[in-house]
Amino acid sequence: GAVVSQHPSWVICKSGTSVKIECRSLDFQATTMFWYRQFPKQSLMLMATSNEGSKATYEQGVEKDKFLINHASLTLSTLTVTSAHPEDSSFYICSVRQGSTEAFFGQGTRLTVV
């Protein structure tokens, strides 16, 4: 299966600052990556689909100017939380898939905004 590396695994930042999360597909070229957010004791909510070389597709209710996604290469997608606020504190996790098969997930990033 695919190996997905996500970095950092946790981060604490001050309100108003921006945080960048990286998601790397280590062993295959991923034209598409998916970003999810998970609040405590809740399920994963799809935020956006990251497409290599083009704009990301955001789910309804997800602010594209706040959650900037860049998929500049076939192995790297980044999610930048801009002007973070305490309500953005959450567990962010990326995944890749090879066609219509299982998804492989990164380890996740726990973001705490203070």
Partner 1 sequence: SQQGEEDPQALSIQEGENATMNCSYKTSINNLQWYRQNSGRGLVHLILIRSNEREKHSGRLRVTLDTSKKSSSLLITASRAADTASYFCATEAQAGTALIFGKGTTLSVSS
Site residues, partner 1 (CB under 8 A): 1, 6, 32, 34, 36, 41-46, 49, 59-60, 91, 93, 95, 97, 99-108, 110
State the Cα–Cα distance between residues 109 and 81, nearest whole angstrom: 12
How far apart are CB 13 and partner 1 at their closest, in Å? 19
Taking the least distance from each CB to partner 1, the nearer of 70 and 98 is 98
Count of Cβ atoms closer than 10 Å to residue 61 Cβ: 7
Taking the least distance from each CB to partner 1, the nearer of 13 and 45 is 45
How far apart are CB 65 and partner 1 at their closest, in Å? 20
How far apart are CB 15 and partner 1 at their closest, in Å? 23
Residues 6+ apart with CB under 8 A from 23: 4, 5, 6, 33, 35, 76, 77, 78, 79, 94, 96, 106
Amino acid identity for residue 16 in this structure = G
How far apart are CB 104 and partner 1 at their closest, in Å? 8
Q: Which two tokens stand for residue 36?
A: 């999810």
Taking the least distance from each CB to partner 1, the nearer of 66 and 110 is 110
